[in-house]
Structure 1
Amino acid sequence: MSRVVIVGGGAAGLELASLLGRSVNKQDEVILVEGETHHYWKPRFHEIAAGTFDNDLDSLCYFSHGAKNGYRHYQGRMTNINREEKQLVVYKTNGETDTLAYDYLVIAVGAISNDFATKGALEHSLFLDTPEQARESWQQISALLRSGEQRTINIVGAGATGLELAAELAKVSGKLERNPHAARLTINLIEAADRVLPNSPLKMSQQAQSRLEKFNVNLLLNTRIASVDKQGMTTSEGITLDADLQFWAAGIKAPDWLKNIGGLESNNANQLVVQQTLATTQDPSIFSLGDCAAIPQADGSTVPPKAQAANRAAVHLAKSLLGLMQGKTLTPFVYKDGGMVVAIGHNYAISTMMNDRLILKGRLVRRLYDTIFRLHQKTVSGFLTMSRLIIAKRLKCIFQPN
């Protein structure tokens, strides 16, 4: 009998737990350690924050899903690893500390925003790193929208998360224009680089910027934030940007508590350093994947922190680890980038394909963005469940009142 413990119920962790749970022998055990009760796809956290996320159809209960897919949900959060005893130290929701034995351990806790030690950013900004933070953001945004008059929101970071949040909030604000009691939002999207989506092709950045300008989002490029307080932000040039709410979505890193946990090797971004097989460099029975792992490739590069990369790594490790449990050797993970899709509102998206040589935009590309989410649902719940959810979503959109 082998016990596989997976830490983190995000895209990578949940997909791995689902695939392994449906494939292992009856005497083997798969346990998913996750503090939340429900799974939300991280690329859609901005929709939770803006109040446009469909909790009924687009979230998933770990407890019931695990029962149907062969894994057990253990509600808690990892705090340490005892590698000699092969035990995971877990902080449970009731405040108690427990230990959980494992034969194979997979760490897939994702990444968080990097505040770059900016003064006041942690204390006075909202983040979208966890479902809990996204829900708290919606509580504050909802109160702001109901307060009336003109309100201002600052968003630091014009990568995919910041850009999608700005567009979603602008869309919500536009829909509320007919309500005389709703607030009117001024949205400032602040970026230190000279363009939005600074790590994407220039043409994609230009298309995204043009769309944001149509939504009346104020773009503050080449602007670095030096400090944050309750009233707003101050740039490195001493300019004050007052705001009623402030978001930080600039850069990512693995959680600070993950650095060198259990004596495992980590890099400057707190990511666990793994081999191309996804096994950690210090322990062949511990694996890591997703945004919290630095995964090398044969050409010397590392796998980028993308949802598609987490998905493919999970599918690969499910097969490779299952083979290892049957006496086979691990296989290396080879990643091929399938491009990038960024949603700008409910009816528009921009994507790159063919190694960034082709830029697509429009409503059909927005359907492609939705398809990526549906593929995630297919992996974790199967084709039939995914199909039922698509039909239910279409019917709900048709029959629910505006």
Structure 2
Amino acid sequence: MSRVVIVGGGAAGLELASLLGRSVEPHDEIILVEGETHHYWKPRFHEIAAGTFDNDLDTLCYFSHGARNGYRHFQARMTDINREEKLLQVYKPNGETDTLAYDYLVIAIGAISNDFATKGAKEHCLFLDTPQQARDSWQQISSLLRSGGQRTINIVGAGATGLELAAELAKVNGNLSQNAYAAKLTINLIEAADRVLPSGPLKMSQEALLRLEKFQINVMLNTRIASVDQQGMTTSDGLNLDADIQFWAAGIKAPDWLNNIGGLESNHANQLIVKQTLVTTLDSHIFSLGDCAAIPQADGSMVPPKAQAANRAAVHLAKNLKGLMQGKELTPFVYKDGGMVVSIGHNYAISTMMNDRLILKGRLVRRLYDTIFRLHQKTVSGLFTMSRLIISKRLKCIFKPN
């Protein structure tokens, strides 16, 4: 009998728990350690914050899902690792501490935004790193929209998260334009680089900028934030940007508490350093994947922090762990980038394909963006459940009142 403990119920952790739970022998035990009760797909956190997310059809209860898919949900958060005794130390919602024994441990807690130690950012900005933060953001935005008058929202970081949030809020603002009591939003999207989507191809950045300008979003490039206070932000050039709500979505890193946890090797971004087989460099019984792991490739490159990378790593590690429990050797994880899809508003998206040589855009590409989420649902719940959810979603869109 082997016990596999997976920490983190995001895209990587949940998919791994689901795949293992349905495929290992009955005497093996799969435990998913996650502090939340429900799973939300992180690339859609901006929809939660903007109030356009469908909680009924696009969330998943870990407890009931685990019972159907062969794993157990243990509601807690990891605090430390005792590698000598193979014990995971956790903190439970009732305030108690506990330990979980493991034979194999997988850390898949994802990443958080990097505020680069900017003065006041932690205290005065909203972040979209957890479902709770996204829900709290919607509560503040909802109150702001109901307050009337002219209001301003600052968003730092024009990568995928910041750009998608800005566009989604602009769409909500447009939908409420006929409501005389709703606030009118001015949205500032602030980026230190010289273009939006700085990690994507130039043509994609240009197309995204045109769409943002069509939404009347104020895009501020080559602009660094020096400090943040309750009233707004100050740039490195001394410009004051007052705002009612402020978001920080620039850069990513693993949480600070993960740095050297249990004596494991980590990098400057707090990511656990792993081999190409996804096993940590200092412990053959501990694995890591997703945004919290620094995963090398044979050519010396690193796997990028993308949802598709987390999905593929989860599928690979599920096969590897199942084989390992049967006495087989680990195989290396080889990642092939399938391109990039960014949602710009609820009915529009931009995508790159063919090694960034082809740029697609429009409403149909938005359907491709939704398909990526549906493939995630297929992995965790199966084809039949995914199909039912798609049909239910379409029917709901047709029959629900505006």
Fold shared, TM-score > 0.5 on shorter chain:
yes
- Counterpart position of 1:248: 248
CA distance in 1, matches of 2:199, 2:385: 35
Q: What amino acid is the match of 1:34?
A: E
Residue 200 of structure 1: SS of its match in structure 2? coil
Matched, 1:215 2:182: no
Distance in 1 between the 2:202 and 2:267 partners? Answer: 29
Are 2:245 and 1:237 equivalent residues in the alignment? no
Measure how far apart 1:346 and its partner are: 1.2
Task: Tell me which residue corresponds to 1:382.
Answer: 382
1:20 alignment partner, SS class = helix
What secondary structure does 2:133 align onto? helix
Task: Show the counterpart of 1:59.
Answer: 59
Where 1:394 maps in the other structure, the secondary structure is helix
Partner of 2:162: 162
Q: Does 1:48 align with 2:44?
A: no
Determine helix, strand or coil for the equivalent of 1:351. strand
- Offset at 1:237? 0.5
Which amino acid in structure 1 is aligned with residue 204 of structure 2? Answer: M
Tell me the matched-pair count: 402
Q: CA deviation at 1:272?
A: 0.1
1:358 aligned onto 2:358: yes
Amino acid at match of 1:248: W
Which residue of structure 2 aligns with residue 289 of structure 1?
A: 289
CA distance in 2 between counterparts of 1:401 and 1:218 reads: 32
Aligned to 1:260: 260
**Aligned letter for 2:319?**
K
Partner Cα distance (2:158, 2:396) in 1: 32
Counterpart-to-counterpart distance in 2, 1:260 and 1:244: 38
Unaligned runs of at least 5 residues, structure 1 = none
- The CA deviation string for residues 176-223 of structure 1, in whole angstroms up to 9 with x for no partner, is 011111000000000001110011111100000000000000001100
Write the distance in 2 (CA, Å) between the matches of 1:344 and 1:183: 21
Q: Which whole-Å CA distance do the structure 2 matches of 1:274 and 1:174 have between them?
A: 46
Equivalent residue for 1:26? 26
Q: Deviation of residue 54 (structure 1)?
A: 0.2
C-alpha distance in structure 1 between counterparts of 2:18 and 2:348, whole Å: 31
- 2:82 matched to which residue of 1? 82
Alignment gaps of 5+ in structure 2: none
Q: What is aligned with 1:319?
A: 319
| Whole-angstrom distance in 2 between the partners of 1:53 and 1:363 | 18
Match in the other structure for 1:339: 339
- 1:120 alignment counterpart: 120
Q: Aligned-pair distance for 1:55?
A: 0.3
In structure 2, the partner of 1:178 is: 178
How far apart in 1 are the matches of 2:353 and 2:299? 21
Displacement of 1:385: 0.1
Please name the residue that 1:348 is paired with: 348
Match of 1:102 in 2: 102
Q: Provide the residue aligned with 2:198 in structure 1.
A: 198
Task: Report the residue type matching 1:295 in the other structure.
Answer: I
Looking at structure 2, the residues matched to 223 and 355 of structure 1 have their Cα atoms a distance apart, in angstroms, of 30
Task: Please name the residue that 2:2 is paired with.
Answer: 2
Within 2, Cα distance between the matches of 1:371 and 1:325?
33
Distance in 2, Cα, partners of 1:87 & 1:178: 58
Shift of 1:280: 0.1
* TM-score under structure 2 length normalisation: 1.00
* 1:45-75 deviation line (CA, Å, top 9, x unaligned): 0000000000000000000000000000000
Return the letter of the residue paired with 2:43.
Answer: P
For 1:177, what is the secondary structure of its paired residue? coil
1:359 is displaced (CA, Å) by 0.6
> 2: distance between equivalents of 1:201 and 1:379?
29
- Per-residue CA deviations over 1:353-394 (Å, capped at 9, x if unaligned) read 111111110011100000000000000000000000000000
Secondary structure in structure 1 of the residue aligned to 2:23: coil
Three-state SS of the structure 2 residue aligned to 1:19 is helix
How far did residue 131 of structure 1 move?
Answer: 0.1
Partner of 2:118, secondary structure, is coil
What is the identity, as a one-letter code, of the residue corresponding to 2:24? V
Q: Which residue identity does 1:177 align to in structure 2?
A: S
**Counterpart code for 2:66:** G
Secondary structure, counterpart of 1:58 in structure 2: coil
**2 CA distance for matches of 1:393 and 1:366?**
15
1:360 partner SS: strand
* Aligned equivalent of 2:135: 135
Distance 2:4 2:35 in 1: 18
1:303 alignment counterpart = 303
**Alignment correspondent of 1:370:** 370
Structure 2 residue identity aligned to 1:300 = G
Could you tell me how far 1:112 is from its partner in structure 2? 0.1
2:149 corresponds to which residue?
A: 149
CA distance in structure 1 between the partners assigned to 2:367 and 2:168 by the alignment:
16
